[in-house]
Amino acid sequence: MNLPRAQRLQRIPPYPFREVAMLKSKLLTEGRQVLDFGIGDPDMPTPGFVVDALGEAARDPVTHQYDESGYGIPSYKEAIARFMGRRFGVRIDPDTEIQSCIGSKEALAHIVWAYIDPGDVVLVPDPAYSVYKVQTMWCGGAAFPMPLDPAGGFLPDLEAIPISVRKQAKLLFLNYPNNPTGAVAQKDFFAEAVEFARKWNLIICQDAAYCEVAYDGFEPPSILEIEGAKECCIEFHSFSKTFNMTGWRVGWAVGGREIVDALSVVKSNVDSGTFMAIQRAGIAALEHYDEWVSWVRAQYQERRDALVAGLQSLAWPVQPPKATFYLWAPVPRGYTSIDFAKALLQEAGVLTIAGTAYGDCGEGFVRWSLTIQAEDKLGTIERAVEAIKTNLPGLSW
Q: What is the pLDDT along the chain (397 residues), one digit of tens a residue?
A: 788 888 888 877 766 666 667 777 887 788 888 899 998 899 999 999 999 999 999 999 999 999 988 889 999 999 999 999 999 999 999 999 999 999 999 999 999 999 999 999 999 999 999 999 999 999 999 999 999 999 999 999 999 999 999 999 999 999 999 999 999 999 999 999 999 999 999 999 999 999 999 999 999 999 999 999 999 999 999 999 999 999 999 999 999 999 999 999 999 999 999 999 999 999 999 999 999 999 999 999 999 999 999 999 999 999 999 999 999 999 999 999 999 999 999 999 999 999 999 999 999 999 999 999 888 999 999 999 999 999 999 999 9
What pLDDT score was predicted for residue 16? 63
Residue 241 and residue 302 in one domain:
no
8 A C-beta contact, residue 207 and residue 174: yes
CA–CA distance, 257 with 269 (Å, rounded to integer): 19
Q: Does 362 fall in a domain?
A: yes
Cβ count near 342 (within 10 Å):
16
CA–CA distance, 255 with 204 (Å, rounded to integer): 10
Cβ count near 51 (within 10 Å):
15
What pLDDT score was predicted for residue 140? 93
Residue 112 and residue 242 in one domain:
yes
Q: How far is CA 172 from its chain centroid?
A: 16
What pLDDT score was predicted for residue 80? 98
8 A C-beta contact, residue 327 and residue 333: no
The domain in which residue 363 lies consists of 7-45+291-391
User: What does the CA dihedral 17, 304, 251, 95 come to, rounded to 10 degrees?
Assistant: -140
* Cα-based distances in Å from 94 to 50, 255, 296, 311: 22, 10, 28, 46
Q: Does 342 fall in a domain?
A: yes
> What number of CA atoms fall less than 13 Å from residue 373's CA on the CB side?
13
Residue 101 and residue 57 in one domain:
yes
Residue 210 and residue 120 in one domain:
yes
Residue 38 and residue 75 in one domain:
no
8 A C-beta contact, residue 104 and residue 251: yes
Max CA separation in the chain (angstroms): 64
Q: What's the CATH number where 68 sits? A: 3.40.640.10
Residue 387 and residue 297 in one domain:
yes
Q: Does 397 fall in a domain?
A: no
CA–CA distance, 254 with 109 (Å, rounded to integer): 15
Residue 115 and residue 149 in one domain:
yes
Q: Does 396 fall in a domain?
A: no
What pLDDT score was predicted for residue 36? 92
Cβ count near 263 (within 10 Å):
24
What pLDDT score was predicted for residue 333? 96
CA–CA distance, 366 with 337 (Å, rounded to integer): 6
Domain boundary among 253, 275, 290: 290
Q: Nearest to residue 216, comparing CAs of 292, 304, 309?
A: 304
Domain boundary among 243, 264, 290: 290
What pLDDT score was predicted for residue 19? 65
CA–CA distance, 348 with 32 (Å, rounded to integer): 10
